[in-house]
Amino acid sequence: MGKVNIKSIAAALNLSPATVSRALNDSYEIKDETKERVLAYAAEHNYRPNPFARHLKTGKTNLIGVVIPFLSSPFFLEFIDELYKAVLPQHYTLIPFQTQNCEKMEKEALDFLTSQNVAGIIVSPAHENSNTKLLQHIHHHTCPIILFDRTQHCLDTYKIGIHNSLETYNATEELIKKGRTKIAFLCGKDIGNTKDRIRGYKNALHNYAIPFREEYVIHADYQDPTENIESELIAVFKKLQEKDNMPNAIVGGTDTLSIKILGVLAALNLAVPQDVAVIGFTNTNLANYLNPALSTIRQPTQKMAQLALELLLELIDKKQDRRDMLYENFLLEATTIYRKSTEIA
């Protein structure tokens, strides 16, 4: 038997294709007995609906766009993987784009996705104010948008992230309790969640009466996680060494920086954690195999992906004007794993 479709089911059951289509979509117009016959035949012959045909009436496809800063980042790569798993049962297809934290590349991705009549878009913005008007126009007039991870953007929609300031506060506090008071914070320049993470870092210092030092907040400017920024970081910390102002602990505020800092410290002949303790945000499964094993703050990618898709599908199905809706910010709980990089004797 060839590929089973609505026409072949209709011919086999002596029904019209329209009746079969309505039965498969659980239409109230079709008798329960007919629905049972159609569904039983479809299940027996492994029928799979054509998602493209399903969306012809609305002018939308079964495509969902995903716009992220980096495909090479462990966190974003894991999020994409979890999202793929979540969309399969829903018969949607993902189109992923990376922006490399570039607003122009983000605009090009958004323009392409809307030209393809995607059903919805999930975005982690390049910057906290990137493409504001374009995102608002798409969300209000074209298709719904969900924001994740970098939730400081002003677009009024559902936003999914973690409590960045609290997680950074806890990490900084852990280092303070281990006797480290000269704590540096590494962060990406102009990244949407940086402000919240710096706030948590500052609050921890303040609550333990440790003076805040401007030179200990180090902004790294990079367009790709694979970019060679080690030399820049080595120069920064070498300068601190020369001024006898080297920190004895570091909180890494991004995936990229958390992973690279161990190599930077090794290049400066500094031992971790004896000379400098390190903890950072990263979802890499290799954290336990680094030398030393890296203490990490891990974001819940599976929950984030599942919730993002659930909320997006909800918006796709709603007839209500998205400008009139009330939206919620979802802050999910991260998992902190302490390993040898913070095991201070």
pLDDT band at 42 (very low <50, low <70, confident <90, very high): confident
Give tens-digit pLDDT for 318-328: 888 999 999 99
216 SS3 class: helix
Amino acid at 112: F
- Cβ atoms of 280 and 297 within 8 Å: the answer is yes
Burial (CB < 10 A; 0-12, 13-18, 19+), residue 135, is: buried
Arithmetic mean of pLDDT, 151-158: 93
- Cβ atoms of 68 and 79 within 8 Å: the answer is yes
Arithmetic mean of pLDDT, 103-125: 95
**pLDDT higher than 90, residue 138:** yes
Bridge partners of 68, per DSSP, are 98
- Cβ atoms of 247 and 184 within 8 Å: the answer is yes
Burial (CB < 10 A; 0-12, 13-18, 19+), residue 188, is: buried
A 10 A CB-CB count for 53 gives: 12
**What's the whole-number average pLDDT of the chain?**
90
